[in-house]
Amino acid sequence: MNTIEKFDVKYERNLSMLMDFYELTMSNGYLINGLGDKIVYFDVFYRKNPDGAGFAIAAGLNQIVDYIKNLKFSKQDIEYLRGKEMFSEEFLEYLKNFKFSGSIYAIEEGTPVFPNEALITVKAKVIEAQLIETMLLITINHQCLIATKTNRIVRAANGKPVLEFGARRAQGYDGAIYGARAAYIAGAEGTATTLAEQMFNIKASGTMAHSWIQFFKDEFEAFKTYAETYPDACTLLVDTYNVLKSGIPNAIRVAKEVLEPMGKRLKGIRLDSGDLSYLSKKVRSMLNEAGLYDCKIVVSNSLDEYIIEDLLLQGAEIDVFGVGERMITAKSDPVFGGVYKLVAVEEEGEITPRIKLSENTEKITNPGYKIPWRLYDRETGKAIADVITLAHEEIDDSKPYTIFDQEHIWKKKKLTNFVAKKLQVPVFIDGKCVYKTPTLKESRDYCKQQVDTLWDEVKRFTNSHKYYVDISMELWHVKQELIQKYRVND
Amino acid sequence: MNTIEKFDVKYERNLSMLMDFYELTMSNGYLINGLGDKIVYFDVFYRKNPDGAGFAIAAGLNQIVDYIKNLKFSKQDIEYLRGKEMFSEEFLEYLKNFKFSGSIYAIEEGTPVFPNEALITVKAKVIEAQLIETMLLITINHQCLIATKTNRIVRAANGKPVLEFGARRAQGYDGAIYGARAAYIAGAEGTATTLAEQMFNIKASGTMAHSWIQFFKDEFEAFKTYAETYPDACTLLVDTYNVLKSGIPNAIRVAKEVLEPMGKRLKGIRLDSGDLSYLSKKVRSMLNEAGLYDCKIVVSNSLDEYIIEDLLLQGAEIDVFGVGERMITAKSDPVFGGVYKLVAVEEEGEITPRIKLSENTEKITNPGYKIPWRLYDRETGKAIADVITLAHEEIDDSKPYTIFDQEHIWKKKKLTNFVAKKLQVPVFIDGKCVYKTPTLKESRDYCKQQVDTLWDEVKRFTNSHKYYVDISMELWHVKQELIQKYRVND
């Protein structure tokens, strides 16, 4: 069950059975072979930033907390599984009483993250760790994707507000709802999705569609009726027939003849088609000429970070960006490739690391129970590098620390005068939630503040500088040993 | 509320407030200006096939039926809206008692569809028609997107089964669940998503992840344990360490030493990395040499229609395709641009058509209350053209009928010996559901049968032949009149 109550909204479903079927065949297999209680370690990480970017934004942890807390299997679920005639009664009985008893460590929402570091580390009985794989991945892959894309768009807008307008083009209902959530964390100011305000307290707004204008006998009457209905919040959509010859003249007329006599101002106009650079400049000068200096120009229509950057470079007179499909689906690169990999198994009290080999050397996993650290320059506050160590290692930031490239280990760099911070926080310890979930606003502020710790070179939209994510010397040795052990000699 | 009960699963939420905020501002505006009861007509249509394809596949209608049936606003919703201090008490009272009382006509799920024809036509009081916009669009845009992409992939596989494996990379939970549904309608054989089987009776299957193999001390022990656990359904993942030197030899050993003594056969092996053409051929010959002719080769790893087509052209020895992220997100073109446009308003008993103009002539809407027809060649059974007429028009297929290009009206074609079929069916009439929802299997069969009515030229993956979607002469005249009326003269 997944329950959220903000403004008393119930958005509740049983998502416990949202899993790849193989989680069940494997779990049953572990159990009936007497292996279900073995403690294992899994990492959630990804290999490549979307859009060739320099970093991604972590998001979705709160939904994972909800999921883990409420994970249970109903009588109906058990019946369904029994009908598959593959599962032992012992396993079905086990599921009936299932409760997650493991530990979860995670990087907090809003944090800039990089490839190959664990956004989440799960330490649990293998059967439990296996069963939660799919839900962890869907949640992380979706929300990190949208947060990462939105952060690019917000940075392109360079301080001007960006509103999330994408619901209708989202990939399903959750795509709209949790997409609005992830977008907010990453810097969107508000949303058009009403339910997102009810659930997450993200300010929802909106005025009119073309249908409002088409419904009335002419554009002026449509504008006039709207202004009379909402004199304090009147933003008019001006492109139904012709922006410069009809929409703007009618909007100005409404500002003068309807709103001014009431002592009100026209709040804004919205452009949803045409060349937004050309039109916004023309519109701005027409509005100014009519004394409507304070009337905001809102634009929408297939915007993304590249178009917004171009519009601003060309001096477009835009006050607010409404971004739809390209944000809510991350259209340019719509998959966040998070994976869930077994990295260690406890055997007779020892944590023994595991590896997955691949012909593609970049796909070889980092083995062992590990933690990711971020090293910040003490002077500038900027992030210098992330380092992944084994969990028992400490980085003592009172001393110099040498990082190195794991492919070319002669490439070294000695760091001094830095602060080392563990990136993960404990979320569940032995089944108990120990994490105080921040408000969405706090995650959003944290995101902004943490993105500010990155050098501009890392933040470039294309050809961004590759931020260092290195591994400790001890981890490097463990990895080399396992590669030698498991590689099949020719 | 959106309730589905198959296998007694509850997947229930209040989605009534999942709407763009402007639906509410407009609806309140219609109401308090005494216009809320005016009857209007809206069309749901799209302008461009994804991936430059020749057609799309309709999907999602069943979820729209559920939504409309259960659409209601809770006390909490009303409280939330009151808190926005924008809405009249009259409107809030109206919402409290809301029940959809309009009529909906729609093209059935599984039907091949084309740009600019109404997948759905809504005739309702303007306030009701406006409030349902966002949910109609999310549903149609998501499910048509995935169905359209899946149908391409299934056609590329040329009769070999395609399984949907995408949940973990889906854009949210509904992305996985309704994505599996849409994929099934369009021809996927099964899914990896367990909940999709519970909800929709789509066969769910799966065996093991790399974690199963990594968990054991070596690959042979992992395979052996799995085979002993599932002797009747043993498909082994062979690429954890090295396919040809470790995975396949171990799989063959298990087939011989574990399964054969039990009188069982190895059902399959799965390849999830490497060059699938090269590996599948090598693997096939190793399996055959060991007498495992009946062992199926299942492949996965970033497949799509283009890669599958290439693999088959190169003679890859593949029996089953598992397709993940590129299907479940329609990665190559992840937005289905369905829109909801006002096309007519009833005024004093007369249906008066409405138009939305645009500088881009292709974006000018087809005005009026209309119906789409499909004309099939009586001899070959193939679809010749779709024609959109005003609703009162009939196409008499006992007589010749002339279609024409609306941009170049001298381009005409006289059709004889055809059958004309209305594409939409009544779904709601005056608020009452009159549609008997087919089973998913029926929609899937219908899809296959209808795609077979398209010429191969229309089905090409790139540069496909443009299928005719024409308008009747009467509609053409109505459209020209409105363009003249609303265009602003220079």
Average pLDDT on B5-20 reads 75
> In Å, what is the CA distance from A485 to each residue of A169, A440, A478, B241?
49, 46, 11, 11
CB contact under 8 A, A325 and B337: yes
- Count of CB atoms within 10 A of residue A83's CB? 11
Q: Is the pLDDT of residue B190 over 50?
A: yes
Q: Is the pLDDT of residue A4 over 50?
A: no
Alpha-helical runs (H) found in B255-319: 276-289, 305-313
Average pLDDT on B333-344 reads 97
Give the pLDDT confidence of A262-291 residue by residue, as tens digits: 999 999 999 999 999 999 999 999 999 999
B363 found inside a domain: yes
Residues B312 and B385 in one domain: no
d(CA A439, CA B431): 41
CB contact under 8 A, A28 and B229: yes
Q: What is the pLDDT of residue A1?
A: 38
Which 8-state DSSP code applies to residue B450? H
Give the pLDDT confidence of A139-174 residue by residue, as tens digits: 999 999 999 999 999 999 999 999 999 999 999 999
For B32, the closest of A40, A229, A359 (CB atoms) is A229
B3 found inside a domain: no
B5 found inside a domain: no
Final residue of a structural domain among B328, B359, B393? B328
Q: Which residues pair with A204 in a beta bridge?
A: A191
CB contact under 8 A, A33 and B225: yes
Closest Cα partner for A120 from A331, A371, A376? A371
d(CA A72, CA B7): 17
Which structural domain, as residue segments, surrounds residue A280? Answer: 206-315
Residues B58 and B136 in one domain: yes
Residues B107 and B163 in one domain: no
From the DSSP assignment, how many helices (H) and strands (E) are in chain B? Answer: 17, 21
d(CA B415, CA B377): 9
B8 found inside a domain: no
Question: Which secondary structure element, helix H or strand E, spans residue A364, and what is its range?
Answer: none
Residues A436 and A363 in one domain: yes
Average pLDDT on B365-377 reads 97
Residues A298 and A370 in one domain: no
CB contact under 8 A, A273 and B360: yes
Q: Which domain CATH number covers A33?
A: 3.20.140.10
B402 found inside a domain: yes
CB contact under 8 A, B142 and A171: yes
d(CA A221, CA A253): 11
For A325, the closest of B175, B274, B335 (CB atoms) is B335
Final residue of a structural domain among A282, A315, A348? A315
- pLDDT interval class at A349 (50, 70, 90): confident
Average pLDDT on B334-349 reads 96
CB contact under 8 A, A20 and B194: yes
Q: Is the pLDDT of residue A360 over 70?
A: yes
With H, G, I as helix, E, B as strand and everything else as coil, classify residue A193: strand
B171 found inside a domain: yes
Which chain A residue has the Cα nearest residue B38?
A215
Q: Is residue A223 within 8 Å of residue A484, measured between CB atoms?
A: no
Give the pLDDT confidence of A106-132 residue by residue, as tens digits: 999 999 999 999 999 999 999 999 999
Could you tell me what percent of chain A has a pLDDT over 90?
93
Q: Is the pLDDT of residue B10 over 90?
A: no
CB contact under 8 A, A126 and B340: no
Q: What is the pLDDT of residue B245?
A: 96
Tell me the residue type at B71: L
Q: What is the pLDDT of residue B2?
A: 42
CB contact under 8 A, A169 and B208: no
- To probe the interface with A, which of B3, B20, B490 has the most A CB atoms within 10 Å? B20
Which chain A residue has the Cα nearest residue B335?
A169
Q: What is the pLDDT of residue A168?
A: 98
Residues B306 and B376 in one domain: no
> In Å, what is the CA distance from A360 to each residue of A53, A337, A483?
21, 16, 13
Residues B403 and B456 in one domain: yes
CB contact under 8 A, A168 and B138: yes
Give the pLDDT confidence of B46-76 residue by residue, as tens digits: 999 999 999 999 999 999 999 999 999 999 9
Residues A61 and A126 in one domain: yes
The token pair that represents A65 in the structure block: 């907390």
Q: Is residue A305 within 8 Å of residue A152, measured between CB atoms?
A: yes
Gap from B393 CA to chain A (nearest CA, Å)? 24
Residues A369 and A478 in one domain: yes
d(CA B54, CA B154): 15
d(CA A391, CA B324): 33
Give the pLDDT confidence of A393-420 residue by residue, as tens digits: 999 999 999 999 988 889 999 999 999 9
User: For tokens 């409507």, what's the residue?
Assistant: A292
A473 found inside a domain: yes
Average pLDDT on B81-106 reads 97
Q: What is the pLDDT of residue A382?
A: 98
Q: Which domain CATH number covers A254?
A: 3.20.20.70
Q: What share of chain B is helix, strand, coil (3-state, %, to 5)?
A: 40, 20, 40
Q: What is the pLDDT of residue B135?
A: 98
- What residues of chain B lie within 8 A of the CB of A336, using their CB? 169
The token pair that represents A141 in the structure block: 């892959």
Gap from B396 CA to chain A (nearest CA, Å)? 33
Could you tell me what percent of chain B has a pLDDT over 70?
97
The token pair that represents A201 in the structure block: 């307290």
Q: What is the pLDDT of residue A490?
A: 56
Give the pLDDT confidence of B227-252 residue by residue, as tens digits: 999 999 999 999 999 999 999 999 99
- What residues of chain B lie within 8 A of the CB of A202, using their CB? none
Residues A418 and A288 in one domain: no
- Count of CB atoms within 10 A of residue A34's CB? 8
A15 found inside a domain: no
Give the pLDDT confidence of A41-66 residue by residue, as tens digits: 999 999 999 999 999 999 999 999 99
Q: Is residue B247 within 8 Å of residue B219, measured between CB atoms?
A: yes
Interface A-B: count of C-beta contacts within 8 A = 355
Final residue of a structural domain among B304, B328, B352? B328
- What residues of chain B lie within 8 A of the CB of A133, using their CB? 168, 209, 211
Q: Where are the beta strands (DSSP E) in A114-158?
A: 120-125
Question: ipTM more than 0.90?
Answer: yes
CB contact under 8 A, A142 and B171: yes
- To probe the interface with B, which of A77, A81, A138 has the most B CB atoms within 10 Å? A138
Q: Is residue B415 within 8 Å of residue B400, measured between CB atoms?
A: yes
Query: How many distinct structural domains can be found in chain A?
Result: 2
For A26, the closest of B138, B208, B331 (CB atoms) is B208
**Averaged pLDDT score across all residues of chain A:** 95
> In Å, what is the CA distance from A293 to each residue of A235, A248, A255, A297, B462?
14, 14, 12, 10, 49
Q: Provide the pairing of β-strand B235-237 with B268-271.
A: parallel
Annotate A387-404 with three-state secondary structure. Answer: EEEECCCCCCCCCCEEEE
- pLDDT interval class at A5 (50, 70, 90): very low
> In Å, what is the CA distance from B351 to each residue of A215, B36, B390?
12, 16, 11
**Averaged pLDDT score across all residues of chain B:** 95
Q: Is residue A283 within 8 Å of residue A248, measured between CB atoms?
A: yes
Q: What is the pLDDT of residue A359?
A: 72
Residues B100 and B171 in one domain: no
Residues A363 and A471 in one domain: yes
